[in-house]
Amino acid sequence: MRLAGKVAVITGGASGMGKATVMRFLAEGAAVVVADYNAQTGEQTVVEATTAGYGAKCVFIRTDVSNEADVEAMLDLAISRFGQLDIVFNNAGVGGAIGPMTETTVEAWDYTMDVLAKSVFLGMKHAARRMKKQGAGGSIINTASIAGLSGDAGPMVYSAAKAAVISLSKSGAVELGPDRIRVNAICPGFIATPLADGGNPERARERFARSQPWPEHGSGEHIAGAALFLATDDSRFVTGEHIIVDGGLTAAGPELSKKYPKSSARDAKISGITKGSTGEKPEVRRW
């Protein structure tokens, strides 16, 4: 039980990777506040936690993570119900604005930035105030995305918001390090959740299994495992980091060997040494 005696707040805890993390943290001994906009799936999550035997350690609060008073209330519930606050997972999210830049409204920009980036600022701000007062340190984990690392892995505003989450996590780590409060981000790749499956989980799982070098689709449990590492003392010297959990998707980079297959030595079954413009001949052999 790696989180025995710890108290966590998980936003977006009613679905997808947030829900998987709720269940994992409960199984590891934590008490968990599930904070979500969707009251129906939020209550359902508590029912499932109760059925699994964790009823006394799991509570739901309807929360809009872009609303400052709501964020304070969810954190205060952890303290009033379970006595302390050790871990905050700022994870709630939506796809937000879609379509080209030329068609994106200011309202769509504001909504997306509010739910994905302002929420993380608010979650960090108010978690830090409470954790500093407790004086026992803490771990803040923010869900970013591989979309925050490049220009073509997600919609424009979503990607900008996720880049902001990575930056906020670094700034937070620097400011809060002296108080032993760690701040890290997780960058998921393609994860088969209701947010990403387009209403067709089976097709998404099949497509996502082909999206990266690793031959299985990403799941909420993969993210829960990374969140658990960041929540425990196993990561006590890790702060200001963004951990990519994507089955090797970003490691594969531009995949030139797929775009220009004839240039791939692996496919042509040759190896050796090329010597550029030196005037020396390459040494090549077949295998």
Ligand X SMILES: NC(=O)c1ccc[n+]([C@@H]2O[C@H](COP(=O)([O-])OP(=O)(O)OC[C@H]3O[C@@H](n4cnc5c(N)ncnc54)[C@H](O)[C@@H]3O)[C@@H](O)[C@H]2O)c1
Q: Which residues contact 2 (CB under 8 A, 6 or more apart)?
A: 28, 29, 228, 232, 234
Q: Which is nearer to ligand X, 87 or 196 (CB)?
A: 196
Site for ligand X in 26-55 (CB under 6 A): 36-38, 41
Report the Cα–Cα distance between both ends of the chain, in Å, rounded: 50
Residues in contact with ligand X, shown as a per-residue x/- string from 127 to 146 under the rule CB under 6 A = ----------------x-x-
Place of tokens 């209330």: 73
Please check whether residue 165 is in contact with residue 188, taking contact to mean a CB–CB distance below 8 angstroms.
no
Q: Per rule CB under 6 A, is residue 14 in the interface with ligand X?
A: yes
Q: Does 190 bind ligand X (CB under 6 A)?
A: yes
Q: Can residue 66 be called a binding residue for ligand X (CB under 6 A)?
A: yes
Task: Between 131 and 191, name the residue whose CB sits nearer to ligand X.
Answer: 191
Distance, in Å, from the CA atom of 191 to the CA atom of 94, rounded to the nearest integer, reads 14
State which of residues 12, 138, 155, 172 lies at the interface with ligand X (CB under 6 A): 12
Of the residues 18, 123, 138, 172, which one makes contact with ligand X according to CB under 6 A: 18
DSSP 245: E
Burial of 248 by CB count in 10 Å (0-12 exposed, 13-18 middle, 19+ buried)?
Answer: exposed
> Rounded to whole angstroms, what are the CA distances from 160 to 113, 124, 168, 226, 241?
8, 19, 12, 23, 18
Could you say which of 65, 97, 124, 166 contacts ligand X (CB under 6 A)? 65
Given the residues 37, 54, 111, 158, select the one marked as catalytic.
158
Pairing of strands 283-286, 270-273: antiparallel
**How wide is the angle at C-alpha 285 spanned by C-alphas 279 and 287, nearest 5°?**
155
Q: Could you say whether residue 92 binds ligand X (CB under 6 A)?
A: yes
Tell me whether residue 111 is one of the annotated catalytic residues. no
Is 155 one of the binding residues for ligand X (CB under 6 A)? no
- Residues 94-133 binding ligand X (CB under 6 A) are 94, 115
Which member of 7, 8, 23, 64 binds ligand X (CB under 6 A)?
A: 64
Q: Which residues are catalytic?
A: 158
Residues that bind ligand X (CB under 6 A): 11-12, 14-18, 36-38, 41, 63-66, 91-94, 115, 143, 145, 188, 190-191, 193-196
